[in-house]
Amino acid sequence: MGDYQHHWKGGTPVHLPLGKIVCVGRNYAEHARELNNPVPEEPLLFIKPSTAAVHITRPLVYPRGQGAVHFETELAVLIGRPLTNASASEVESAILGYGLALDLTLRDVQSSLKEKGHPWERAKAFDGACPLSPFVAADQLAKGNLNFTLDIDGQRQQTGNTGDMLNPIVPLIAHMSTQFTLLPGDVVLTGTPKGVGPLVSGQTLSLELEDVLFVETTVV
């Protein structure tokens, strides 16, 4: 851990430090239903530290002996300008790029924490809990809804479209900026569609964003 650096697709470094990773839970209604969770009335926010980030193309390593570790495939947004109480136009101009992420979750730990009314960090913020892909510059993607997928061992597991988000990207990031300042190099994870499940040693995970980004990783 600790050697993560943002990169563009193609391998060029993004010359920004990694700060925090700001996440939203239950941003797709079907995912909330599959876990028997209520749909929140406002964005359900939590943060992963920079130490959670790893390059997604490296073999996935996760904690042992703490129950099931679930994958959650998400669209990641790279922030390029400071945002505090930002307007929609300010958010749009601050989006530097898009990528893909896995929000790895210790599901049994999370369930126990929720039952006790405790925060989720123990389940969401461990070292390696946020594998990140390289980023594609925002101007290289068409405006409008974005599609992304996850295949496991060649079988489609998750299909996401940003048009299905309960809180769309720009209003979501604007809301986040009212709670805490977003800084250049911060990453926003925008929620996962239905189809989450446990990681199993030996699996191959293939993630794709539109037709512009494809990454693959294995579980060790």
Residue, of 3 and 90, whose pLDDT is higher:
90
Tokens of 21: 């990773």
pTM score, whole prediction: 0.95
Instruction: With CA atoms as reference, report the closest residue to 147 among 171, 156, 80, 155.
Output: 156
pLDDT band at residue 11 under the 50/70/90 scheme: very high
Q: What is the pLDDT of residue 29?
A: 78
- Per residue in 22-71, pLDDT (tens digit) is 999 999 977 767 767 777 889 999 999 999 999 999 999 988 899 999 99
Q: Count CA within 13 A, CB hemisphere, residue 215.
A: 25
Q: What is the mean pLDDT of residues 72-80?
A: 98
Q: What is the pLDDT of residue 205?
A: 98
pLDDT over 80 at 82, yes or no: yes
Q: Tokens 């390289």 correspond to what residue? A: 134
Which residues 6+ apart lie within 8 Å of 110 measured at CB? 120, 123, 124
Phi, psi torsion values for 214, nearest 5 degrees: -135, 130
pLDDT over 90 at 142, yes or no: no
Residues facing 188 on adjacent strands: 22, 77
Query: Which architecture, in CATH terms, is 21-218?
Result: Alpha-Beta Complex (3.90)
Percent of the chain with pLDDT over 90: 89
Percent of the chain with pLDDT over 70: 98
